[in-house]
Structure 1
Amino acid sequence: MWKVSLHLFALVCASAVAEFEVPDATIEAYSPEGLKVSIPDVDGIKLFAFHGKVNEEMEGREAGTFSSDVTRAKDGSWTFYDPNAKLSVGDTLYYWTFADYYDGENKLGYVKEDQEFTVTVRLCVIFQIEYSATMVVILNILLFNFFCGFSEAGLSVTEVSGSLTTKRKLKSGQLIFEDNFDVFDSYKWQHEPNGNSHLKEFQWYTNSSRNSYVENGILHIKPTLYNETGTDPINEPNFYPIRSARISTEDLFAFKYGFVEINAKIPSGDWLFPALWMMPSEGTYTKVWPLCGEIDIMEAAGNKNLTNSQQEPIGQQRVSSTLHWGPSRALDRWRLTFITKNDPSSFSSTFRKYQLQWSPQGLTFFVDGEESGTISTPDGGFWNLGNFNGTGFANPWINGTNLAPFDQKFFLIINLAVGGTSYFSDNSVNAGGKPWQNNSPNASADFWNARSQWLPTWNPESDDSHFQIDYVRVWAL
């Protein structure tokens, strides 16, 4: 005899009031044990309830094996968590959810029935220590392997390559790359001069010590003007008015899976565009972008008061993490894997730790040990997530894992770009306006001709416009 949920009484006449739908639940199964079910904290929800069974369909609105009321939201979510639940890959969870919703006049109950979820991966419980972001890193790595069982005899799932690497068999928690920038170490980094990018930015990268140097244990990437004579440029599409630097570990150090921590201070100044990111080292699937994949650990804008068309701050008050992937530039599905984190006090005011935990189960981004967001390995892989069937392109990731193209070795890149015809939207709002249009054939010259507007915001006589890096560290999982 199955039990009937006590929430049924609250459903009476709910449809007669303002429409409301219980938000879709996010479900995570953990290894070796644990089940988390959550919905976002939508304004008006006063209670959330979850009822479910494993590998057995629910009989109507029965209470189920899992039956719990959540009476308070936390950290933006209503969350049910059972630390003792044991689910395996392939198990199906049948469930229904309920929410008490107050529309300002009435509080009524709403239900979402006949739901199911099949476990494709089991995640690892992440432990955090509030007082130490670095301790979070170490515990994440050790507990990841201990609980998830990816490694045997203490060995790690992390793989490395490059001239800098010597040990091929790694242990969990092993520090596999570190640079504290006491000097500029050419055995760890190489400049990538005389290069622009697919974003058609306005800088030209150099290996000059004017644009990159180490001082007092800090790497500085400094933007400078293309000359100091004040001579106006000829309007032409290939004019680059700014000099800057981009360094990478290409051919020197690359890795697959690990924990990255970069302590950095983003620059302050209009249209500055710093980035900490990664690209594939071997072209396992292809070297064509974005089909090859790109991992952006941190990107930001240096503008102090930049907002989007919704008047949301998108300058120094926001950093983002992104995956780029897709069969062509037009089909880059980065918007599906785009994470932002906000700080009203600005990310340029001090050094912050930008972190990435990258495992076969997905990628989680952190700032100072606080999670910004997770991109889990998608069911059916990124090709299905991007809905690329029928686009006329062949799937080069078909022989990879569901994480492809993010299941290959990547190398690290640090650079400071300026402007460009992609990153800064024409709809963005900035004091004095945006001095170029992205479709202009002379965008870089338009930018240069407005230097009286943006150059003072760089405060060139100080370090404000410098992208500063304290250290870079990578651990094996």
Structure 2
Amino acid sequence: MDVRVCCYVLSVALGLVSAQNSYTIPDVRIEVLQPKGFRVSIPDGPGLALFVFQGNLNRKIDRDAVGSLKGEVLRPTNGRWVYEDANTQLRVGDVINYYVFVSVNRKGYLKDNLSYTVQAVEDRTGSSPKPVGCLPTVTTIRGGNACSGQIIFEDDFSSLKDTWQIEQYIPVSSHPEYPFVSYQRLPDDPVVYVSNGNLHITPKIQQRMSDFTNESIYLGNLDLFSGCTSRAEECYRQASGPDILPPVVSGRITSAGFAFKYGAVTIRAKLPQGDWLYPEILLEPFLKKYGSSNYASGVIKIATALGNRDLRVGLDEYGNKVLYGGPIMDVKCRMQLLSRKLMDNSLWGDDFHEYGLTWTPQYISLSVDGEQWARVDATGGLRTRFPNTCTHLPRMLLEKGTRIAPFDDYFYITLGVAAGGITEFPDDSYTGGGQPKPWRNSGRKGMLSFWEDLPHWGTTWTQPELLVDYIKVVAL
């Protein structure tokens, strides 16, 4: 969304009030970076759901104008709302004139007539020198250094560390997959927790939650503003007609304090089983610069297997026996190209497996239990152990010169469970009992049709959890 439109919409819908009322925008921190760029941030606070920055370099800016320097931040990072411009060259004496806008508890607040004069230029990384004996690596850490072979991120889930942010928001139709869930932090009946050395992410039915008293998913509302981690439009939903509330409550965590470029990721996990469920074991771009469409989002799937024990379109099998991964692309070719089957009639959700992804400037390779099964080159070529009918990667990702998108930015880790949606399950598919998929991916009433089929799919959710034993990222 254009930032000016965003500000106008929020000003009208939420009621723009001055910074002297019930909430005062905290002091804005601006840091100038080397060799170019700058970073703007404010501390996180209760109910804060959006941070917008608008500025001009060495010229004034009006409070209702769009600046040449602009950014919209949808969620905090490591306790602060951070906008980073990586391209503007600043020199001592330059002046940034700017205003900021925030949304707090569904109200808009503006702070304008602000300026910052560049006094000094700081180190872009803010990191200490590399230790003696550190071998060079193509791996980089946002805000830090790495050495070849070094473990740069690791968690055995003996506890839920502050490194992870538990998400709380409602995906909207612009989401690449538009799953039929809301991600929530539930203090009394959590969907995200650690137990017996494993991370548990357990989807549940919204209508059955003990604290859900807002009439029903047909007529009620879902207010997640308190603790919401996304933009305002994803913090509240009012049911209306076929636009019901998301029928599934699930969990999602992100490595908010850690992002990297290039490395080897290993995750030992047990995937969820249950009709129309799927795990989210992802790398997502830190700056979200690729776009939000399914083919251009830049998201990398480390591993996923659809929750249905049996799922077919004609004679083709898509259920929990088939493993998928790699950059997001057209669903039909993804399922034909990047897939690996278990040959002993077992399911990926029957036991723990070690899923690996190696991400280099030249390629992304996928492995399971130490065996590589697919590889995507930076120029779009693909190698796989299995025959396929797609010979290239159609509509794959937003091009950056001659290289596909996930090869030129920092990425963070996401773990979660989703249900339904508009991309993961092929239309005209049916379960092992011959039960057809109850919605169409392009259908206006997809979420409603999914919910009304609860008597069929609800009984299959006997093991809906994603269990994660450990995760490790190693510099190349």
> Is the aligned partner of 1:190 residue 2:165?
yes
> Is the aligned partner of 1:157 residue 2:157?
no
Aligned equivalent of 2:186: 208
> Is the aligned partner of 1:271 residue 2:249?
no
Deviations 1:357-381 (A, max 9, x none): 1111201100111111111232899
| Aligned-partner SS, 2:312 | coil
User: Matched residues in 2 for 1:405 and 1:272: separation?
Assistant: 25
- Aligned-pair distance for 1:409? 1.2
> Is the aligned partner of 1:369 residue 2:370?
yes
Aligned equivalent of 1:43: none
| Aligned-partner SS, 2:456 | helix
- Aligned-pair distance for 1:308? 2.4
- Aligned-pair distance for 1:438? 2.6
Aligned partner of 1:192: which letter? E
Instruction: Give 1:331-350 correspondences, 5 Å limit.
Output: 335=334, 338-343=337-342, 344-350=345-351
- Aligned-pair distance for 1:239? 2.4
Deviations 1:405-439 (A, max 9, x none): 42221111111000112211122121222222333
Q: 1:271 to 1:379 in 2, by over 3 A?
A: closer
> Is the aligned partner of 1:322 residue 2:329?
no
Q: If the length of structure 1 is used for normalisation, what is the TM-score?
A: 0.57
Q: 1:192 to 1:439 in 2, by over 3 A?
A: same
User: Matched residues in 2 for 1:474 and 1:314: separation?
Assistant: 29
Aligned partner of 1:240: which letter? P
Instruction: Give 1:115-264 correspondences, 5 Å limit.
Output: 154-161=135-142, 167-168=144-145, 170-186=146-162, 188-196=163-171, 197-209=175-187, 210-228=190-208, 233-234=218-219, 235-250=241-256, 252-264=257-269
Q: 1:352 to 1:406 in 2, by over 3 A?
A: same
Tell me which of 437, 440, 443 is aligned to 1:440: 443
Q: 1:455 to 1:286 in 2, by over 3 A?
A: closer
User: Matched residues in 1 for 2:380 and 2:422: separation?
Assistant: 34
Aligned partner of 1:180: which letter? D
- Aligned-pair distance for 1:157? 1.1
- Aligned-pair distance for 1:350? 0.5
Q: 1:437 to 1:405 in 2, by over 3 A?
A: closer
Aligned equivalent of 2:459: 456
- Aligned-pair distance for 1:335? 4.3
Q: 1:157 to 1:221 in 2, by over 3 A?
A: same
Deviations 1:157-182 (A, max 9, x none): 100115xxxx41x2211000001111
Which ranges in structure 1 are unaligned for 5 or more consecutive residues? 1-151, 326-330
Aligned partner of 2:140: which letter? E
| Aligned-partner SS, 1:447 | helix
User: Matched residues in 1 for 2:336 and 2:413: separation?
Assistant: 19
| Aligned-partner SS, 2:186 | coil
User: Matched residues in 2 for 1:176 and 1:418: separation?
Assistant: 31
User: Matched residues in 2 for 1:286 and 1:426: separation?
Assistant: 27
Deviations 1:310-361 (A, max 9, x none): x232111011013137xxxxx8997499411111311011011110011112
Aligned equivalent of 1:296: 301
| Aligned-partner SS, 1:448 | helix
Which ranges in structure 2 are unaligned for 5 or more consecutive residues? 1-132, 210-214, 220-240, 383-391
User: Matched residues in 2 for 1:380 and 1:312: separation?
Assistant: 24
Q: Is the 8 A contact 1:293 1:406 kept in 2?
A: no
User: Matched residues in 1 for 2:139 and 2:191: separation?
Assistant: 34
Q: How many residues align?
A: 298
| Aligned-partner SS, 1:356 | strand
- Aligned-pair distance for 1:292? 4.9
User: Matched residues in 2 for 1:451 and 1:380: separation?
Assistant: 41
Aligned equivalent of 1:414: 415
User: Matched residues in 1 for 2:205 and 2:308: separation?
Assistant: 18
Q: 1:333 to 1:360 in 2, by over 3 A?
A: farther
Q: 1:323 to 1:336 in 2, by over 3 A?
A: farther
Q: If the length of structure 2 is used for normalisation, what is the TM-score?
A: 0.57
User: Matched residues in 2 for 1:427 and 1:380: separation?
Assistant: 29
User: Matched residues in 1 for 2:381 and 2:372: separation?
Assistant: 25
User: Which one is further off, 316-325 or 331-340?
Assistant: 331-340
Q: 1:441 to 1:217 in 2, by over 3 A?
A: same
| Aligned-partner SS, 1:365 | strand
| Aligned-partner SS, 2:460 | helix
Instruction: Give 1:274-289 correspondences, 5 Å limit.
Output: 274-283=279-288, 286-289=290-293
User: Matched residues in 2 for 1:365 and 1:192: separation?
Assistant: 27
| Aligned-partner SS, 2:471 | strand
Deviations 1:137-159 (A, max 9, x none): xxxxxxxxxxxxxxx96221100
Q: 1:336 to 1:265 in 2, by over 3 A?
A: closer
Aligned partner of 2:319: which letter? G
Deviations 1:214-239 (A, max 9, x none): 11111111111112289573542252
Tell me which of 305, 308, 314 is aligned to 2:313: 308
User: Matched residues in 1 for 2:316 and 2:393: separation?
Assistant: 27
| Aligned-partner SS, 1:240 | coil
Deviations 1:79-106 (A, max 9, x none): xxxxxxxxxxxxxxxxxxxxxxxxxxxx
User: Matched residues in 1 for 2:332 and 2:196: separation?
Assistant: 41
User: Matched residues in 1 for 2:296 and 2:443: separation?
Assistant: 27
User: Matched residues in 1 for 2:464 and 2:380: separation?
Assistant: 42
User: Matched residues in 2 for 1:267 and 1:379: separation?
Assistant: 30
Rg comparison, structure with higher value: 1
Aligned partner of 1:200: which letter? Y
What fraction of aligned residue pairs are identical, expressed as a percent?
A: 31
| Aligned-partner SS, 1:446 | helix
| Aligned-partner SS, 2:313 | coil
Q: Is the 8 A contact 2:176 2:297 kept in 1?
A: no
User: Matched residues in 1 for 2:380 and 2:371: separation?
Assistant: 26
